[in-house]
Amino acid sequence: MTQTIEKRKIRADKKRDVKPTIPIQLYETVSRLSYITSVPIKDVGVIISKRGLYSTAVLEYLSSFIKRDYWANNNVLYAGHLEGETFSFEKGIQKRRITMRFSQKDHDQLARLAYSLDIPPSSATGALLALSVKNTDIINSYISNHVKSELDAVRMKQLKEIYKYITKNNPYNKDISFGTFISILLDEVKESTFTVTEKVKSWIDERVIK
């Protein structure tokens, strides 16, 4: 009698859990980003960490901690140095665990980075999150993309017109990114009970839409 064993199929979109323990101040920062954008904290952590995983600026900083050769992509190799310093958070500070779920593809890349850093994947994720949160380009991009996706068409058009005017007529800084513009706007509107989108809507309505 021949017994047929059916292999269980693995979903292509299967998610892999990673649970780094990070400094409490970093956790609170991610929590604030979660609050103002109305996105679950676990998803904010994944989005920010993924951007760091593929960010040249973040990887350049991490390169001093790489112990084994790391291919960031098909064209970029970071040479490892076994005698190099190991990345770690400051000892003796309060920490908290955050749960994140990565796609298999991103988890595989994360695992390769962790191997090159000679630390567990959870620690590598914590490192990426910490460095990405402090990268203004990554955070500004995250917030501005959120605003773009949430604003209605009329307000988005008006916001773009304001941005266009400011960048065209700014005698102080010729290179203002859309994310930086949003950050400046948020500094002006400080009601802590508003989400980012509500703040931007309020700001536009007060100045443009009648």
Return the residue matching tokens 């989005």.
Answer: 47
What is the pLDDT of the chain when averaged over all its residues? 82
Return the residue matching tokens 């931007």.
Answer: 200
pLDDT of residue 192: 47
Question: What does the block give as tokens for 150?
Answer: 């949430």
Residue 108 backbone zone (phi > 0: left; psi -120 to 50: alpha; other: beta): alpha
The residue ranking higher by pLDDT, 158 or 123, is 123
pTM of the model: 0.74
Are 71 and 79 spatial neighbours (Cβ–Cβ below 8 Å)? no
Report the candidate in 41, 74, 72 with the shortest Cα–Cα distance to residue 59. Answer: 72
| Predicted confidence (pLDDT) per residue in 57-74, tens digit | 999 999 999 999 999 998
How much of the chain exceeds pLDDT 90, in percent?
Answer: 47
Whether the per-residue pLDDT at 2 is higher than 60: the answer is: no
pLDDT of residue 111: 97
The residue ranking higher by pLDDT, 6 or 23, is 23
Report the candidate in 156, 123, 146 with the shortest Cα–Cα distance to residue 40. Answer: 146
The DSSP call for residue 12 is T
| Predicted confidence (pLDDT) per residue in 141-169, tens digit | 888 787 777 777 776 677 777 677 666 75
At 201, the pLDDT band (50, 70, 90 cuts) reads low
Whether the per-residue pLDDT at 77 is higher than 60: the answer is: yes
What are the angstrom distances between the C-alpha of 129 and each of 30, 86, 93, 167?
A: 9, 17, 17, 31
Cβ burial of 143 (10 Å; 0-12, 13-18, 19+) is buried
Domain coordinates in residue numbering, the chain: 15-134, 138-207
Q: Rounded distance, CA 154 to CA 53, Å?
A: 35
